[in-house]
Every structure is written in structure tokens, then in C-alpha cells.
Structure 1
Amino acid sequence: MLRHEFQPGRLVAGFFLTLTGVVYAGDAGGLWETPWFAVIPLTSAGLCLAALAGSAAHGLRRQRGDHRELPGRDDKHVRG
């Protein structure tokens, strides 16, 4: 498996979107009642926190000059 750089923004966004899915799955399964608008604050908060985490990670990476070459990484396929 090729190594890749850690992207905390994607981790946070994925966590909150998964949490939203679990909340609605619990409602669909009859475990609890979820209002229809519950997805709005969960998704909004998750995306805002993901943007904050991604920006912080990018700033730290840029400040440290951490642009190491990872094995198997081809710069032609990396968007920047």
C-alpha cells in the first residue's frame, strides 16, 4: 500500500457525515426519534470543523516545510 499524507480535514468530515448517517439509521430502525432538520447542524458543524482542521494542517505543513517525497508518489498526478 502506498503511503499518503495525513489529511485531518477529510477525517473530521467523514466522521461527522458518518455520525449523521448513524443518527438517521437509528431513527429508521425505530431506536429513537430524529427531527428531519437534524442533518443541517450536524453536517454544517462537521464541514466547518473539517475546514478548520484542514487549514491548520496545511498551515503547519507549510510552516515546517514538510514537502517530503513519498515513495511511489508521482508529481504529475498530484493537484496543487
Structure 2
Amino acid sequence: MLRHEFQPGRLVAGAFLTLAGIIYAGDAGGAWETPWFVVIPLVVGGLCLAGVAAATTRGIRRRRRSHQGTTTTPPDPQPKAPY
């Protein structure tokens, strides 16, 4: 199986959308009564948190990538001619 990079934004979004589905499934199954408007703030809040998590992850990865590029690349010993 191919490895992929961990994306916490998608994990958070999936968790909140799964929770919304469980709430609606419980309502449809008769386990509890859920008004239709209860899930809207849950989904919107989950998507906002997912966006924050994705932006934070992207910033951290960019910062690590830029720091790794400067430490592993040695300086050029001879400057190139300006042609």
C-alpha cells in the first residue's frame, strides 16, 4: 500500500460530517428527536476547524521545508559567470 501524507484538516472535516450523519441516523431510527437546524452549526463549525487545521499544517510544512532546504544545501564553491 502506498503511503500518503497525513492531512489533519480532512480528518477533522470527516469526523464532524460523520457526527452529523450519526445524528441524522439516530433521528431517522427513532432513537432521539433532532430538529433539522441543529446540524447546520455542527457542520459549519467542523468545516471552520478543518480549515484552521489545514492552514496550520500547511504553514508548519512550508516552514520545515524552507528550513531543511537551507541547512542541507551547501553553498556553491565557485560563482558562475554572468552570461
**Map of 1:20-59 to 2, 5 A cutoff?**
20-59=20-59
TM-score (norm 2): 0.77
Letter of the aligned partner of 1:40 in structure 2?
I
Which structure 2 segments of 5+ residues have no match?
A: 67-83
Query: Following TM superposition, where does structure 1 have runs of at least 4 consecutive aligned residues deviating by more than 6 angstroms?
Result: none
Identity of aligned residues (%): 70
Q: CA deviation at 1:51?
A: 0.1
Using the alignment, how far apart are the partners of 1:57 and 1:24 within structure 2?
31
Partner Cα separation in structure 1 for residue 34 and residue 8 of structure 2: 28
The one-letter code of the counterpart of 2:44 is: S
1:2-23 per-position Cα deviation (integer Å, ceiling 9, x unaligned)? 0111000000000000000000
Alignment: residue pair count = 66
How far the C-alpha of 1:55 sits from its partner, in A, is: 0.3
Map 1:1-80 to 2 at 5 A: 1-65=1-65
**Greater relative contact order: 1 or 2 (C-alpha under 8 angstroms, separation 6 or more)?**
1
- The runs of 5 or more residues in structure 1 that have no matched partner are 67-80
Quote the RMSD (CA, aligned, Å). 1.1
